[in-house]
Structure 1
Amino acid sequence: MNLFAHLDPNTEEEKVDIMYRNAHARVERIVSSGQVSPGGFWYEQDEDEWVLVLQGEGRIQYEKGNEAVLRTGDCILLPAGKRHRVSYTSQNPPCIWLCVFSGKEVNK
């Protein structure tokens, strides 16, 4: 398995691949090429999410307006229930996120 394989930066949609899953955790690779959360949409997840940017840049905006800028190698923990949205992703290179979900709802 190679986290940088099968990348297509010329797509309209994010690509989400589940890399690993069990009863306690789920690991996803997400490739974003300029996609952001729809206006007015907020994630408010039942699980914790640890996010690492493998390539490119992404920005996570919180409900109160502050923003976390994540570049290659940066990581962040989004606790369950923390309202957030993706406000920016780089296109060239695409933003590659590695996301680890843990908690009671990981097998959605």
Structure 2
Amino acid sequence: MKSQNIFSKIPKNLNHEIFEPLIKNNVVTIERIISKGQQTSSWYDQTRNEWVIVLKGEAVLTFEDQTSVQLKEGDFINIPSHKKHRVSWSDPENETIWLAIHY
């Protein structure tokens, strides 16, 4: 087995958000997400629950009911399935690195 580092291999050019599955099976998906100034234009309406933590950087999630949650390093949130949400802001100066667990 070989270890990996969640902060390694960050692309220099981040024209779009990057979604990288780290582990995926029929029950759970764990992915690294990298943002830098991106916003989501449409609503996510996921069939599974999502637990997400910001490991580096900061961002704002907005929900369909117009409530917003600012997430900074170390902050996490559990989003129930079909709770429509989107990224309304991510730090344009620094990478925001998320760890998301879909279950």
**TM-score normalised by the chain length of structure 1:** 0.88
* 1:63-82 aligned within 5 A: 63-82=64-83
Which residue does 2:36 correspond to in 1? 33
For 1:6, which of 9, 14, 28 is the aligned residue? 9
Partner of 1:106: none
Distance 1:19 1:9 in 2: 20
| 1:22-53 deviation per Cα after TM superposition (whole angstroms, max 9, x unaligned) | 22100000000111111xx2111100000000
Quickly say closer, same or farther: Cα 1:78–1:51, change in 2 above 3 A: same
Alignment partners' CA distance in 2, 1:24 and 1:6:
27
RMSD of Structure 2 on Structure 1 (CA): 1.0
Preserved CA contact (<8 Å) 1:10 1:33: no
TM-score (norm 2): 0.92
Where structure 2 has 5 or more consecutive residues not aligned to the other structure, the ranges are: none
Show the counterpart of 2:59.
Answer: 58
2:25 to 9, 22, 31: 22
Identity %: 35
